[in-house]
Chain A
């Protein structure tokens, strides 16, 4: 590899078709690297979005579930996850996890040319796709707010990523020749269109959320004591970061800084705008008010809906998908009360429903005039694409439902899923993380000095707050009450 053309040979000897070598295109590389950063920002953005929607005593746990998803998936991804998704396919079902284990064959060696995926360094593609995997796992956590053991969440997140996300992402994202020779069945054989993850990300996470919420059970006091969002400004900051990051999520999926990326960005933005307005209109008619949380939710619904479709529809299609997603998700979030599952933050109502709408509407609104489009039903293409979309969505739903159920039951049997009832009432932050998010005042607690901590008199500290500081204790004695009151204490 000394300056010569890098030979794309995986460790097991499979000659890869698309991982080539050479000098990457600077513009494309810059855009994908920036997009990776944008998508990365979505996970903490989701943490704030979700965090603001729970009660003050649960916000840290909610945030931690998103952040920890980044941690767990990030490690699994570089070890074998990327390879399981983009390695040479085993029957269209899963990539060979050993092809690029520990990113072997992906990173540039020495000063040699970088291995490429298309025109960008393979490493840029790896990190971009890592962010998709992370946020997909993080999305699920919105359904389990306030009540899931954090240890159980970590274990679930890791196992779910391996057994559900990696295979499904392989089906949907690993096109033949994109990275390795043989790709996944949905994109390569079925030819369903999912540009940036309507099935692999949103339907997948939405189904997992439904299953996990059902296995976990409803929160104490659900329906009788509604959990009011504790900080809607945090929700809005979160959704702003999500929207911003979604630019990279969708437009970065073009893997190039070109016209397709620009077109995708237009569709992404307008669908989100339409989604927001549609949700607000539904609220105004149904409830009499257009709410802040509704605006935020409508933006996300529109973004979810357009995600699979953003490269295969025109502006009219994008607007329709945004409107339908926004309105349908606004109506769908109430279904949980009728069916009795506690999808706390509406992962099902927004991501599963929005993902399904976007995926299916591709079959209606796709147009060959769009960058990666074919003609859908409304553009003279017949029902051909529609059934492909339906089969792809159904396959992901069934697989995710079955395997997530097995994982959830197994984790529940081994380490338990729920925190103790007392901890749930007191707030999950305290029991799971020994922290509370907000310092409500100086009377809320006192320092407990650790043994050996310099400058602290432990014998005094243990006797009470004032005793913790000998100087303050001395001052107290000067405030003796005169004129017949009590003497110094």
Chain B
């Protein structure tokens, strides 16, 4: 099993959700997070005082999937989260990473492993 974690633009969340659903992944955990990568910040103005905001609000999507489904899920997620219509999106579109998961337990039934995913 793998944990697929994606940091995406919040506005891309609907498309990502639909893409994951089409790829057979219905459960997910979404968190509003803040952070920064290569994307530059923006400046806000309050009575002429500039306030530099370089921690961007992003959505973090986490899904646990079976090993066999990882590539398809990641591909679907990346395609949905990328901005624009071309092959290359824009700075700030986000990042996806995959980590190994030792065990999964479904709380309701106590099922383990792939059955619980």
Residue ranges of A at the interface with B (Cβ–Cβ < 8 Å): 226, 228-229, 283, 286-287, 289, 291, 293-294, 297, 330, 333-334, 337, 346, 479-485
Contact = CB atoms under 8 A, between A and B. Distances in A.
B110 A480 contact: yes
A480 B45 CA distance: 54
A117 to B, nearest CB: 40
Contacts of B48: 283, 286-287, 330, 333-334
B45 A289 contact: yes
B45 A283 contact: yes
Contacts of B47: 291, 293-294, 297, 330, 333-334, 346
Given A229-B46, A481-B110, A483-B111, 8 more contacts: A226-B49, A226-B51, A283-B48, A287-B45, A479-B110, A480-B110, A483-B112, A484-B112
B114 interface: no
B44 interface: yes
B107 interface: yes
A229 B87 CA distance: 40
B95 to A, nearest CB: 26
Nearest to A294: B47
Interface of B: 44-51, 105, 107-112
A229 B46 CA distance: 8
A481 B46 contact: no
Contacts of A482: 109-110
Nearest to A289: B45
Contacts of B112: 483-485
Of residues B45, B50, B111, which shows the largest number of chain A Cβ atoms within 10 Å of its Cβ? B45
Given A482-B110, A483-B111, A228 B105 contact: no
Contacts of B108: 479
Contacts of B46: 226, 228-229, 291, 293
B107 A479 contact: yes
A76 B116 CA distance: 69
A186 to B, nearest CB: 32
A337 B50 CA distance: 12
A228 B43 CA distance: 12
Please list the 4 inter-chain residue pairs (A to B) with the smallest Cβ-Cβ separation, ordered nearest first. Answer: A482-B110, A481-B110, A333-B47, A226-B51
A293 B45 CA distance: 9
A482 B107 CA distance: 10
A334 B105 CA distance: 58
A163 to B, nearest CB: 31
Nearest to B113: A483
Contacts of A286: 48
A483 B45 CA distance: 58
10 contacts: A228-B44, A228-B46, A287-B45, A330-B48, A333-B47, A333-B48, A334-B49, A479-B107, A480-B110, A482-B110
A481 B45 contact: no
B112 to A, nearest CB: 6
Nearest to B44: A228
Contacts of A228: 44, 46, 51
A57 to B, nearest CB: 17
Contacts of B109: 482
Contacts of A330: 47-48
Contacts of A283: 45, 48
B38 to A, nearest CB: 24
A243 to B, nearest CB: 18
B30 to A, nearest CB: 14
B50 to A, nearest CB: 8
Contacts of B49: 226, 334, 337
Contacts of A479: 107-108, 110
B101 to A, nearest CB: 15
A291 B45 contact: yes
Contacts of B105: 481, 485
Contacts of A287: 45, 48
Contacts of A294: 47
Nearest to B106: A481
A337 B47 CA distance: 12
Nearest to B109: A482
Contacts of B111: 483
B46 to A, nearest CB: 5
A374 to B, nearest CB: 36
A82 B98 CA distance: 72
B117 to A, nearest CB: 15
B114 to A, nearest CB: 13
A47 B105 CA distance: 50
A484 B103 CA distance: 12
Contacts of B45: 283, 287, 289, 291
A481 B116 CA distance: 12
